[in-house]
Amino acid sequence: MAVTLSYSQAVPETGEEPLDAAALMSMLVRSGFAVAGTRRHWEIFPRHLPPTLSDRAVVRLLNLCYGRSGNVFTVAARKV
């Protein structure tokens, strides 16, 4: 027996916005961390599945068109 799920009403906006990269780095430094490196990259496929050849091609195309200004910001930091 198949179960079909649907929303009975519209979900309100959460009002959440992405955290500004400068604000994130400032919080890390104020909390006693030294930022070792940062990186922006694209994430377009589910993380629980390995990327397909077409996923990799799309990411390369995004990097060519927009540079490495992707939707994911990664920070490597260490406690000082």
20-79: per-residue pLDDT in tens?
889 999 999 999 999 999 988 887 777 677 888 988 898 889 888 888 788 888 899 999
Query: Can you tell me the distance from the alpha carbon of 72 to that of 62, in angstroms, rounded to the nearest whole number?
Result: 13
Task: Look at residue 41 in the predicted model and tell me its pLDDT.
Answer: 82
The ranges assigned to domains in the chain are 21-79
Q: Say what the alpha-carbon torsion angle 78, 50, 39, 63 is, to the nearest 10 degrees.
A: 170
